[in-house]
Structures are given as structure tokens and as C-alpha cells.
Chains A and B, each alone.
Chain A
């Protein structure tokens, strides 16, 4: 029996590949990369080009992973946009203003993310307010608090901090002068989230919740705990990016994280995650993030008008949603034929 199914799988491997949810994202990435590689030439294919889009991908990618998991479970998290500056402000304030050790400051920054995520999760699970609205509300509240405390304590909306060599090496250095160490952290996060979604039982719970929350709860899945955990994960990851930014650019500003809201959602959707939940993969999110980053940086290496970048990203987004529908229909019809 196992031998039979394996042979069957091999025989129809091309068909199976075409039905995998990541296929659309993979095609998108290959096309976009080939396009910019042709236009950008050897510079884009060399260390400057690779480091350029990988540095972008690392930051947005770290946030896109938990945001993707939340979307698979049927929830949105808009608040990441204000957690990034809140955490970098907390870190810079603790280390740069109060002169506390870097480790304490980093933990403080990360704690901000965990706390905001916990509040998000609590509000989403205890009330009937949709997560989109909850996290928009929380985003504004966090923004206001960040601003208020910064002005109250520092009298300014911008704080500078010169990190210790250790903190800089771990979180803010450029390997080979070009590759931000955040890229390695991103790959680490990818591994962790891969285990959570595709290996551990929690992954099945997340898919089940996204498919039908009510049935998932009836099946004995601790839906509230999973949801709160996911929001805390996205808070943590956003806060992590905030800490990385302080260590890299040696400054924190109360505004500036807004671009992560839409960018992370776009990476996730280009990566084939279903907006309504229940479907998606880490590999897809990874590919979506890489595609997004290549387009964003490729335009500068290809010497195109920089405004072409957003146009391509927008077109990719629409193409991704359309192709996802197509691949899903393919997969469903194939499954129906087998039955």
C-alpha cells in the first residue's frame, strides 16, 4: 500500500507540484527574479544586489511569518505597524537614556511586543470585535502611548543610542559589510515557524481554526490559547525588528513602522495564504517575501523609474490572489476526480 501510493505520487509528480499551494508563488518569484536579473546585470546578481533585497526581506520577513500564521487562522494584525517603533523606542530609551545594560533594554523592547500581542489576543478572543478592528484600535493606542512617553521622558520624538559592541554584533552588524545579520535571524525564525506550522500539532490546530473556529473548538482545540499565542508571536517578531533597527541605525523614532503593515500582508498574500484563513504555508510566505523584496530593490538596480516598483508589487498581489484561486480549483477538482 505505501509502495503503491509512492509510485502513484511519483507518476503524477508534475500534477502534484502544480497543485501545491506554493507553486504560484514560486513561479512569481522566478519570473520577477529573472526579469530584474536580466535588467540589473552582474551588480544585481552579485553581493550588492543579493544583500540589498535580502536586507529588506529579512525585516519584513520576520514580521510576515507570524502575520501569515494569523491569517491562516483567520485573523489580521495591523498593530505591528506601531509595535516596531514602540519597541525600538523602549530599547533606545532604556539603554540610551537610562543607561541600563543592553540585555535589559532588548528584553524591555521585546516585552512591549509580547504585552501588546497579549492584549490583542485577549480582546479578540474575549469580545466579538473582528481582529482587524481590534488591532487598528490597539495600533493607535500604542502609537499614542509611545509618543506620549517619548515626549514626557525625553522631550523629543527621536532618541539616539550607541549600542555596545556585543549588541551591535548580534543584532545590528553587516556581515561582509553588506549582509545585515538580521538575515540570519530571519532564517532562524523561518525554521521555528516551519516547525510550528508543519511539524508540531499546533500547526494543525491553526489550520483547523482558520477553516472553522467553531468546529475546531468542539474538537477540543484550545482555540483561545492558540489565538492569543499567535498574536503574542506577531507582537514579539515586530518588536524584534524594532530592536534590530535600533542596533543597526542607532536611533529610534516614534513614527516609521507603518510601512510594515501593508508590506507584511502583501508578502503573505503573494505567498499564497488565503485571506479568509485555513490555507497557506511557510514556504509560500518565504517566497512571497523574497518576491516582494526583489521587486522593491530590483527597480533601483535596473535603473527603472522607482515608481515602477509599487506598480509591479500591486500587480503581483492581484496576480497572486487570482492564481491562488486557480490552483485551489485545480487541487479541488483533482481531489474530486480521485474520489
Chain B
């Protein structure tokens, strides 16, 4: 993993998309901290979000490497998603106040986060982006991005379903209007179209978010209402539980799939109740964002691939056993 990142001599040379000001800021950060310990903050989403636990596993593993080299990692999470933008800004300011040298952070709420991160960068703090917000990467002048591209992930998923026989796919969005979810379904639509299938997008109202029973019944109504639907992909993991239940209730032959997954997803894939899950490998995002931010600060490394996509990685019956093994260790 480390053999591809010894790009010190290239610094500022072949990365044409990085503006001079960042290079200056990054250099200032490196010079400013010099031989002292490099402290970084990793900011993540809600403590209630199972997905974030896998990111944390990656951050924890990278922390060993950071600490072995005399640095430190602070892992900061929001309590929930109720007041998400302001909560994220609070965490950014907290990290700045504690004098960190770098911040690794996903961009979920650009309007709130971009000004706070630019203020942090003006104080010489280096920003590493992961998990979310690839389209606004340049606005915060992040040094790199580890995550999936929502559109590419959707494209891969839509293409997979169509190539496996789907002709009409239902794409379920659990939070209406969420840009990343809309991008996923746009990708599904284009990916499916390439293999000759059509896609209908279903946005369930926000009061059904997290409500498996309500979502299952909503999907059931859609499946019965339009019986040409022969596959579904949900933007939420619980949407697959709901979809599998709706399929069981209606007895229709519909392929169930979803973005991201939980232990129960793997059970369903093994049992044949779910066709596949589109993974973005959060472990890699946490691990790479943390270790590469630190390596950049401490050793001046650069990665010539930018952005670095950790997904889509399709989990289906063919590879589910390996994923189960990784899940048992908390990394998948």
C-alpha cells in the first residue's frame, strides 16, 4: 500500500489541479510544525450510524501508524444528524482551537462547512477529504479525496442489475432531495440505460426514513402498482430489509439490492433474499484518509491519483463469504 505514495519529489510538480495557494499553505503547515508532533483530527458522522463504525475501524488502524511516528489522531463525531451543518462546524472549530495540523473530513453540508474549512486552511491547517462531497473538493482545496463517487457507484449498480436480467428498476431514495442520493439514482438510471433497462425513482417521505415497516409497505404498493418492476435498489441499507419483506409479501420475482450494507444484508445475500449490495468500503476511506493525511504532513508524500475511489465494490453471492469474514472483524 505504501509503495505507491512515495511521491515527495513530485510535490507541487505534476499536480496541475492544485493551486499555488494550497501548495503554499501546505508548505507553511509542514514548515510551521517542522519536527514537532503532527496532530490531526478526523471528523465523522453520527455515533448512531453503523456505517461510521467501519470508518472508525480504519481510522483506529491508521492511528497505530500515526502514533508509531510520534503523531496523534483525534476522532470527532456528531451526536446525530438533526442539526448536522452547525454540528459539523462546531467540530471543525473545536479541532482548530486544539491546534491540529490537519483535518480529514467528509463534506455533507457544503454551505456550512466550506467557510469553516477555508478559515481553518488560512491558519495553515491541511484538509483531507473523504467519503462525501467530491463535487466541491476544489472549493475547500482538499489535498485528495478517498471515497466513492455517488454517480459512479450508482452507474455500476444499475449496470450490474441490467446485465443480470433487470428491465425495470425501482431506485428508492429515503431522504427526498438529498443531493448524494439523487446522484446515486441518476447513476443507476444511466448505468441501467447502457444495458437497456429503465429506472423509476421513488422518493419516500422523510417521516419514513428509518421506518422499515412503513418503507416495506410503500415498496409493496409500488411493486403491485407497476408489475413491470423486476429489480429495486435502495439508497439505504434498511431499504433492502424493507424491499426483501415487500417481495416476500407480494411473492413477485424482484431482485433486491441496496447501497451499503449491514450484517443482516450479508445474511440476506447468503440466503438468496438479496441480489447484491453496492459497497464503498468505508474501512479504506477511514484508513487512507487518516494515514495519508499524516504521511503528507510528516513525510511530505503525495498521491498522484486524485481522487482515489474506494467504490463501487459489488457484494453478491460470489464473494459474500470473504466479506462476512471481513465484517466479523469490523472492517466490512
Query: Interface residues, chain A, CB within 8 Å of chain B?
Result: 43, 48-49, 51-53, 55-56, 59, 143, 147, 151, 155-160, 162, 174, 177-178, 180, 245, 248-251, 253-256, 258-259, 262-263, 296-297, 300-301, 303, 306-307, 309-310
Contact = CB atoms under 8 A, between A and B. Distances in A.
18 contacts: A48-B224, A156-B50, A158-B263, A160-B263, A178-B250, A180-B213, A250-B267, A255-B210, A256-B210, A256-B238, A301-B221, A301-B225, A307-B176, A307-B205, A309-B205, A309-B207, A310-B205, A310-B207
B142 interface: no
Contacts of A310: 205-207
Interface in B205-224: 205-214, 216-218, 220-222, 224
B249 interface: yes
A306 B53 contact: no
Q: What secondary structure prevails in chain B residues at the interface with A?
A: helix
A306 B248 contact: no
Contacts of B224: 43, 48
Interface in B230-252: 238, 241-242, 245, 248-251
Given A143-B48, A160-B263, A309-B207, 6 more contacts: A51-B249, A155-B53, A156-B53, A255-B48, A297-B221, A310-B206
Nearest to B213: A59
A250 B202 CA distance: 25
Interface of B: 47-50, 53, 176, 202-214, 216-218, 220-222, 224-225, 238, 241-242, 245, 248-251, 262-264, 266-267, 330
A165 B208 CA distance: 29
A218 B65 CA distance: 69
Contacts of B207: 259, 262-263, 309-310
Given A155-B330, A256-B238, A56 B213 contact: yes
Which of A49, A147, A160, A162 gathers most chain B CB within 10 Å? A160
A256 B225 contact: no
Contacts of B242: 249
Given A48-B250, A259-B208, A251 B218 contact: no
Nearest to B261: A158
A154 to B, nearest CB: 9
A160 B261 CA distance: 12
Contact of A256 (B211, B220, B222): B211
User: Which 6 pairs between the two chains have the least Cβ-Cβ distance?
Assistant: A251-B264, A300-B221, A160-B264, A157-B50, A160-B263, A158-B262
Contacts of A49: 221
B45 to A, nearest CB: 12
B212 A52 contact: no
Nearest to B251: A177
A292 to B, nearest CB: 11
A249 B245 contact: yes
A297 B48 contact: no
Contacts, number: 117
Contacts of A48: 220-221, 224, 250
A245 B220 CA distance: 17
B306 to A, nearest CB: 32
Given A157-B48, A177-B249, A259-B207, A303 B217 contact: no
A53 B267 contact: no
A250 B218 CA distance: 19
B176 A249 contact: no
B205 A258 contact: no
B329 to A, nearest CB: 9
Contacts of A53: 217
Contact of B263 (A156, A297, A307): A156
A248 to B, nearest CB: 7
A253 B205 contact: no
Contacts of B214: 56, 259, 296
Nearest to A266: B207
A254 B212 CA distance: 13
A48 B263 CA distance: 30
A259 B214 CA distance: 10
A56 B246 CA distance: 13
Nearest to B57: A155
A300 B221 CA distance: 6
Which of A52, A155, A258 gathers most chain B CB within 10 Å? A52
A162 B250 CA distance: 21
B208 A256 contact: no
B26 to A, nearest CB: 35
A49 B223 CA distance: 12
B265 to A, nearest CB: 8
A155 B60 CA distance: 13
Contacts of A262: 207
Contacts of B248: 174, 177
A255 B48 CA distance: 6
Contacts of A248: 212-213, 245
Contacts of B225: 43, 300-301, 303
Nearest to B218: A300
Contacts of A301: 221, 225
A245 B216 CA distance: 12
Contacts of B48: 143, 147, 157, 254-255
Nearest to B214: A56
